[in-house]
């Protein structure tokens, strides 16, 4: 058998051997077969934290709704919505967030609770305590 014949025989043998490897459909480099999850060694991206919404109504100088002490985990996105029958300003102490509330309307302040502790939330001009936000 000449060199060409040996080369062809060797090539045919390799094709037969390699063709049996893998046992399934070929996939493109860097892709994963159907039904496979994240790449090996890589965890799926975590879901974003759930927004904690706090709702308060102020009527006749009294607060109702999510009042008292409201606890949220550190790092939680928070939205505090205040509906008021008088114009004022929501003030989240410690975070120094202030948002105006028009008469008979709703104002909302949004932030990430990234400072541990207990923080007063009030209607600033009326000096009306709405709630205490406990972060931790």
**pLDDT tens, the chain, 136 aa long:** 544 444 444 444 434 434 444 444 444 444 444 444 555 678 888 877 799 999 999 999 999 999 999 999 999 999 999 999 999 999 999 999 999 999 999 999 999 999 999 999 999 999 999 999 999 9
pTM more than 0.75 = no
What pLDDT score does 126 carry? 96
Following DSSP, what letter does each residue of 9-77 receive, concatenated? HHHHHHHHHHHTSS-S----TT---TT--SPTT-PPPPPPPPPEEEEEEEETTEEEES-EEEEE-TTEE
Helix (H) or strand (E) holding 124: none
What pLDDT score does 46 carry? 80
What pLDDT score does 77 carry? 98
Structural domains in the chain, CATH included, are 52-135 (2.60.40.420)
């Amino acid at each position: 058998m000449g060199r060409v014949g040996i080369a062809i025989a060797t090539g045919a043998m390799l094709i037969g051997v390699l063709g049996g490897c893998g046992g399934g459909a070929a996939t493109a480099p860097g892709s994963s077969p159907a039904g496979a999850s994240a790449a090996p060694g890589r965890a799926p991206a975590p879901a974003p934290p759930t927004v904690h919404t706090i709702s308060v109504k102020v009527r006749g100088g009294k607060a109702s709704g999510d009042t008292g002490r409201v606890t949220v985990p550190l790092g939680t996105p928070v939205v505090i919505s205040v509906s008021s029958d008088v114009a004022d300003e929501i003030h989240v102490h410690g975070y120094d967030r202030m948002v105006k509330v028009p008469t008979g309307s709703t104002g909302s302040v949004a932030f990430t609770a990234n400072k541990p502790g207990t923080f007063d939330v009030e209607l600033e001009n009326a000096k009306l305590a709405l709630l205490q936000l406990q972060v931790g």
